[in-house]
Amino acid sequence: MIALALPAQDSGTFTPPGIEELHLPAIIPWGAAEGFSKQMLLVILSVVIIATFFVIAARKQQLVPGKLQFAGEAAYSFVRNGIAKDIIGGRDFMKYVPLLFSLFFFILVNNIYGAIPLIQLPTFSHVGGAYVMAAIVYVTWIAIGIKRNGLKYFKLATVPSGVPFYILPIVVPIEIISNFLVRPVTHSLRLFATMLAGHLIVMISGAGIEFLVMQENVLLKGASVLVLGGAIAMYMLEALIMVLQAYVFTLLTAIYIEGALHADSH
Amino acid sequence: MNQAIISAATEGGTNPLVPNPWEMLVVFAGFALLMFIVVKYVVPMFEKTFAERAEAIEGGIAKAEKAQAEASAALEEYKQQLTEARTEANRIREEARAEGAQILAELKEKAAAESARITAQAHTQIESERQAAVVSLRAEVGTLATTLASRIVGEALSDDARSARVVDRFLADLENQNAGVAK
């Protein structure tokens, strides 16, 4: 086990890539360890990609859309109707469409980076970005809850109605922990961990193939084909998870906002 | 063993749960910029298009309904006009028939009157002619009778004086009669 974590000295042993590989050397270094990293570049690139695509797609505003406009409208409608309208519903879902829309496509593009050759690095395999996204959502839904229900919101969110009073001492702490402490942590770590793990698996598969191909033994060389098959399958699974996690993150955001809006009926 | 892995991971300064603050800043700034663009441009443009499209579709439906209503109103009007025209034609035909019958009756009546008039005139004429014939006969009968009688009895009359008196009296009668006619 130690050999897996520590770089092995002899070439006969397989040395899998570790978490260190996710921290590429800074493109423009400054300070001691920090610098302008690949992740930062990718984040900026993602904003450019999303903004350019949707502004161009939405700009024409034709009643009968062209291909690009249709694609943009389909993507926009997916978040607007598929997530915001379905989950939040009612009259006021439109207010939260911009947030959900931005969240979904920002996370989606930054995840999909991991499946694109040469870029091959999901931004949220670094936990910082995931913390920021979850924090934005956390602040947002609490603000919505307070704005809608006043300070009574915290009572509504933590004291479920219809529960016998003698169970309340148990239920209330659980509600506080699950809603206000665990929720943002799981929200961010779910995204981060899936991206990190997926990226690690793809990296390890790649390194494994390379290692086996370099072996003298023909059988071991041949075994690399099996690993390649597995690597492709893992790559596909990872691509699916990248899309799925963007959807899950956005869906959960919509659910949290809905919960804050209608705290009195929960 | 786990301890060893964790320590190995953390010793390298790569505890995956410790964020890089600069990256957090970049992600936050990037997302804020994206939100701004989305709120300011993308969502309004898409919503405007959707609203326009919905309006266009609803407007189209309303327009089609209006056209439909107009068409059925026109059809109704045409039907009514057709019915009116048919009624009118029937009425005219009935009138013509009645008028024809009336004209026929009048003509018959007129013809009957005319024929009656002609008949009456003929009767009158015949009567007057007969009257004239009677008058002229009466004038001539005496002469003829006398002539005839004188031829028949001429021999005897020349002989005796008695016949001379008969002739005289007859002539006197004739003269009286002629004088009566001349009166």
**Between B20, B38, B41, which is nearest A126 by CB?**
B20
* pLDDT at res. B2: 47
Tell me which of B68 and B181 has the higher pLDDT: B68
Domain residue spans in chain A? 24-265
A83-111 confidence digits (pLDDT tens): 999 998 877 889 999 999 999 999 999 99
Contact B1 A55 (CB under 8 A): no
* pLDDT at res. B9: 44
Q: Name every chain B residue with its beta carbon within 8 A of the beta carbon of A102.
A: 31, 34-35, 38
A189-244 confidence digits (pLDDT tens): 999 999 999 888 888 888 888 888 888 888 888 888 888 888 899 889 999 999 99
* pLDDT at res. A193: 92
How far is B103 from A132, CA to CA, in rounded Å?
110
User: Burial level of A35, CB count in 10 A (0-12/13-18/19+)?
Assistant: middle
Contact B26 A20 (CB under 8 A): no
- Residue recorded with tokens 């947002």: A140
Q: What are the backbone dihedrals phi and psi of residue A36, each rounded to the nearest 5 degrees, phi first?
A: -80, 100
Q: How many distinct helices (H) and strands (E) make up chain A? A: 9, 2
Does the structure show a pLDDT above 90 at A59?
no
How far is B27 from B30, CA to CA, in rounded Å?
5
| Structure confidence at residue B147 as a pLDDT band (50, 70, 90) | confident
Average pLDDT, chain B: 83
Q: Name every chain B residue with its beta carbon within 8 A of the beta carbon of A50.
A: 34
Q: Name every chain A residue with its beta carbon within 8 A of the beta carbon of B56.
A: 63
Q: Which residue intervals of A11-63 are DSSP H helices?
A: 38-59
Q: What is the ipTM of this complex?
A: 0.85
| Of A146, A59, A141, nearest in space to A100 by CA | A141
**Between B4, B9, B24, which is nearest A129 by CB?**
B24
Contact A40 B53 (CB under 8 A): no
Q: What is the pTM of this model?
A: 0.68
